[in-house]
Amino acid sequence: MSAIDIIIWIVVLGVIAAGIVIAIHYASEISTASNVHSEMQNTAALVADIRQAWQGYPDYSTISDSDAISAKAIPSAITVSGSSLTNVFGDAITLGTDSSNTNAFDLTDVVPNKACAAIANALVQNVTSLTINGTAVTLPVTDPATIGAACGTTDPSTLVETYSGM
């Protein structure tokens, strides 16, 4: 092999390696976007199923993961393991009565930081309160930077979403 052949092979292998790195990078981004979309759909379905199961009852004072599981109010896309719920990212979902209003319930969702802002921005229109990583977000949100700042760099991020109404 001549020196030119070796240089050509090095360039070709470099282009192939760069292509693989780019493909891996975008595959990760596509996977995250897909999981964000799935998590938003699953949260909407969970909230709807809970509201339907508790319809006609005086309030959400009995809501918990295990009660929602027993009430068959968990969509099939959410993983149930014993009395625990897990989201598409493999992290915990926890249900509970809102501490200031028994006619509302809290849904605590632990998500990767890279998904935090996208999920929070998607659900902010449907909640009566939102806390991200311990920071209460003032509603209505008028600037997406508010959500980004609350998500910060904490990984995973914890979203506490409050849904009201029976």
Q: Could you report the per-residue pLDDT of 128-154, keeping only the tens digit for each? A: 999 999 999 999 999 999 999 999 999
Residue type, 33: A
What's the CATH code, domain 3-164? 3.30.1690.10
User: How far apart are alpha carbons 30 and 38 in whole angstroms?
Assistant: 12
Domain ranges of the chain: 3-164
Confidence category of residue 21, pLDDT binned at 50, 70, 90: low
- Predicted confidence band of residue 7 (pLDDT cuts 50, 70, 90): confident
Please state, as a whole number, how many other Cβ atoms lie within 10 Å of the Cβ of residue 44: 14
Q: Do 83 and 65 meet the contact criterion of CB atoms below 8 Å apart?
A: yes
| 105, 96 Cβ separation under 8 angstroms | yes
Classify residue 151 as exposed, middle or buried by CB count within 10 Å of its CB (0-12, 13-18, 19+): buried
* pLDDT tens readout for residues 93-128: 999 999 999 999 999 999 999 999 999 999 998 999
